[in-house]
Amino acid sequence: MIADIVLRVGLVASELEASHKLDSLLSKNGVEFAHKISLSQLKSAHCATSNLDVWLVDLKEDDWSDSLDILLEEARVPVFINEQPAIHRQSHPDFWVRKLIVRLGELVLAETEATIVTYQKPIASTPVHSLKKKSLGSSTQPEKQSETEKNQDVTKTDEPKSQFKSEFPLWVLAASLGGPASLKLFLQTLPDKVDASFVLAQHIDKNFIPVLCKIIEDYSSLKVHLPENRRPVEIGEIIIAPVESRLYFMPDGTVLTTRARWTAPYSPCIDDVMKEVAKVWDNSGAIVFSGMAGDAVEGSRAMKKAGHSVWTQNNDTCASSAMPEDVRKAGLSNLTGTPEQLARHFVAYMHRFAQAAKAL
């Protein structure tokens, strides 16, 4: 599970008392409020606030003011406007609020992705609350190593590796700009039980990983977590490639996390992840979703060389089609489709895999 606090929100309400139910359910589901103010209290100075991830405006119909126009134009973080009576119309308000949190998270991620792509650095606003170490495994922040130790790690893992004879497939999900929305569609199309695992390599700022985890957890029954050093990959999980520690997959089916850096300029580097899985896992493949150019081609080449399949999201459904298009132009894509179509093809692939395993 992810940490208790997944988002820091500034709440602006037409009437704070009328927003109490929304306030309570958001808090119950991991939202921390940096501000709670009524619409009449909203001032232009609030636009400069950066100790939150998103403004949530809980508004009664036709209850608008000039200060809201200023907030929309000048706020340093995204602004989401919600209809105040909406929660009272819900038969299952808990579920509705969880979906709202996912929408807020997607808005924050979209803002972050655009900034990372443009500037190659985090946005100025205070990011999503850091994950608690125990919720992600004790090795999320690896122990400090000397430069000699780092080099030893890299040297060991750069040696040729034998293929791990896996009992289940391990596929790489590669995504960048627009990736979370594509992943959501892919994962919610899969059945509840999937006898496979995934490694998600998503270009993202490290502080927004909790939001990404929350989005994935809400649309998938698979276990979502950051890698734990020397832990075997297990069936039915999604391993999130971390930003600050590089992953290596070992011949015994375990994951090694080190302080070594990903290949610049991306963290995590999709090429690195795909190459690692291709070298070790005998039943593997990769799906390249929406994203900017500059990553995934060399990794796809390594996948194909190892005899694995590479699938790509089609242009029409991508927020940015550059990454999957580059893979196709290099002649490395076996299959192209919408996220939903790719999910259905994966189900068919799993059926073939299960039949082949029974025949052994």
Burial of 304 from C-beta contacts in 10 A (0-12 / 13-18 / 19+):
buried
312-329 average pLDDT score? 95
Confirm if 32 and 7 have CB atoms less than 8 A apart. Answer: yes
The radius of gyration computed from the CA coordinates of the chain, to the nearest angstrom, equals: 22
- Residue in the block written with tokens 């038969």: 91
Least-confidence region, from 80-89, 113-122, 315-324, 346-355: 113-122
Q: Which CATH superfamily is domain 161-359 in?
A: Methylesterase CheB, C-terminal domain (3.40.50.180)
Residue 21 predicted with pLDDT over 80 = yes
- Give the pLDDT score at 170: 96
In degrees, to the nearest 5, what angle opens at C-alpha 107 toward C-alphas 104 and 108?
A: 90
Confirm if 282 and 317 have CB atoms less than 8 A apart. Answer: no
- Residue in the block written with tokens 């270009």: 203
Q: Taking Cα atoms as reference points, which of 99, 247, 94 lies closest to residue 170?
A: 247
Residues contacting residue 342 through CB under 8 Å, at least 6 positions apart: 186, 287, 311, 313, 335
Neighbours of 229 (CB within 10 A): 17
Task: Express each pLDDT in 282-319 by its tens digit.
Answer: 899 999 999 988 899 999 999 999 999 999 999 999 98
Whole-number percent of the chain with pLDDT over 70? 82
In this prediction, residue 274 has a pLDDT band, given cuts at 50, 70 and 90, of: very high
Q: Taking Cα atoms as reference points, which of 260, 259, 263, 305 lies closest to residue 286?
A: 305
**Greatest C-alpha distance within the chain:** 71
- Give the pLDDT score at 82: 85
Query: Measured between alpha carbons, how far is 326 from 202 in angstroms, rounded to an integer?
Result: 17
Give the rounded distance of the alpha carbon of 347 from its chain centre.
Answer: 22
Task: Express each pLDDT in 171-218 by its tens digit.
Answer: 999 999 889 889 999 999 998 889 999 999 999 888 888 888 888 888
Give the rounded distance of the alpha carbon of 341 from its chain centre.
Answer: 20
28-53 average pLDDT score? 87
Least-confidence region, from 53-57, 92-96, 186-190, 315-319: 92-96
Residue 91 predicted with pLDDT over 50 = yes
pTM value?
Answer: 0.62
Neighbours of 70 (CB within 10 A): 15
Confirm if 90 and 21 have CB atoms less than 8 A apart. Answer: no
Task: Express each pLDDT in 129-150 by its tens digit.
Answer: 333 333 333 333 333 444 433 4
Which structure tokens are listed for 215?
């989005």
7-119: CATH number = 3.40.50.2300
Reduced to 3 states, what is the DSSP secondary structure of residue 334?
coil
- Give the pLDDT score at 164: 58
Confirm if 131 and 140 have CB atoms less than 8 A apart. Answer: yes
Reduced to 3 states, what is the DSSP secondary structure of residue 231?
strand
In this prediction, residue 153 has a pLDDT band, given cuts at 50, 70 and 90, of: very low
In this prediction, residue 351 has a pLDDT band, given cuts at 50, 70 and 90, of: confident
- Give the pLDDT score at 192: 86
Q: Where are the domains of the chain?
A: 7-119, 161-359
- 7-119 and 161-359: identical CATH topology: yes
